[in-house]
Structure 1
């Protein structure tokens, strides 16, 4: 029973956050089966990413800066970006800017959920430890997904040089913030909380702003207003 409770606690944050961001889609909700599929893709990439990271760690060593920005954040964010670009970016369901956020959050939380289950299983984690992970790494992955998806949405509905610029931002920006997050946790043993809490506050504030701006750019916004006026 205790094991079941711990596994449930490891899964719950990812499901709760995905539900939160799904409900933030104000104008044209995505098909739930599509969101779940992308969430499950996040499950599948954990093992290949771990293998790549292990090989890179053996090859390059564990220098904190290199590990944080290249081996950890670099590999994870690139794989998520690569799959989103090839599976979702040109999909017919990607029809408003917020969809980029939702699908990027879905794949990120799928990855974070399996990571959380593995942590709980191999470290015999307490419920308290899982609560901390819900507030930090799981929500961190979700917010990196918001950043990636926001710029994917901007790229999708831009033209020319702006498209290429936003595509670059969609990879570089989440990678940067993820790297900063990992560097803090990897190098600070005593005062990390004084840095990670402000960082998470900045990410949440910025992330919610991106959610609002993405929704405001929806082509369905005016249609919904017209329907409300008619009623």
Structure 2
């Protein structure tokens, strides 16, 4: 494969998934510039995360459990959560629950896209390897972003301040990311028997969260087609 072909194949899954979740915003699509800003911040996040992960590996070793839940998932999900919370949570454009999903997915997929590009070039990956990564790590990051964004949306519009959902927005993606990584590390020869059900569950759960977040939009009442006919 040419350099351009590898680059396009590495970038395409993240862009496609971002487009999919952006278009799922039924009532008030977010400003493209703001979504791209979060995507770019996710890209830039790769570099400090890589430095911290390298330091943790040197200090803590590569025990599969510690690596999966702390070095990998812990660092990555905390920084993604931190970015989304401090950049967008109080922004005026965050005006309905689904917006949390859009912005968290943008950050997650920005991170996953550069990670995929680096993997492609550093490992001299072929097309089949990149497609496998599209269905696993890149898709996984999108699912973790949906979980994070769903609970950020709940926190934003919760009448009691939403501290519980702010915590869940960090803990749940971290947990599922850790499960994903741990499964890949300890089931090297028969991982497909575990990963297919796991990814199917995460996708079904994420699509449910997407529909539920849209259903809770305060803007829904102005759309006649969503009114229940009596």
Alignment of 1:81-92 (within 5 A): 81-92=81-92
Change (3 A) 1:12 1:216: same
Alignment correspondent of 1:51: 51
Q: Which residue of 2 aligns with 1:135?
A: 135
What's 2:178 paired with? 179
In 2, distance between residues paired with 1:189 and 1:5? 28
The match for 1:211 is 210
Distance in 1 between residues matched to 2:53 and 2:203, nearest whole Å: 27
Deviation at 1:190, TM superposition (A): 1.0
Q: CA deviation at 1:88?
A: 0.5
**2:107 aligned with 1:107:** yes
- Structure 1: stretches of 5+ with no match in the other structure: none
User: TM-score with structure 1 length normalisation?
Assistant: 0.96
TM-score normalised over the length of structure 2 = 0.96
Aligned equivalents of 2:179, 2:225: Cα separation in 1: 44
Q: Structure 1 CA distance, aligned partners of 2:178 and 2:20?
A: 25
Match of 2:221 in 1: 222
Partner of 1:151: 151
Q: Match of 1:67?
A: 67
Q: Which runs of 5+ in 2 are unaligned?
A: none
CA RMSD of aligned residues (A): 1.5
In 2, Cα distance between equivalents of 1:119 and 1:63: 22
Does residue 1:77 correspond to 2:83, yes or no? no
CA deviation after TM superposition for structure 1 residue 200, in Å: 0.1
By how many angstroms is 1:224 displaced?
A: 1.8
Count of aligned pairs: 228
Residues 29/58 of structure 1: CA separation in 2 closer, same or farther (3 Å cut): same
State the shift of 1:3 in Å.
Answer: 1.3
The alpha-carbon distance between structure 1 residues 158 and 227, as it changes in their structure 2 partners (threshold 3 A), is closer
| Alignment match, 1:14 | 14
CA deviation profile, 1:60-119 (whole Å, cap 9, x unmatched): 111110110011000000000011110010000000000000000000000000000000
Residues in 2 aligned to 1:228 and 1:32: alpha-carbon distance in whole angstroms: 28
Q: Which runs of 4+ in 1 moved over 4 A?
A: 226-229
1:225 is displaced (CA, Å) by: 2.2
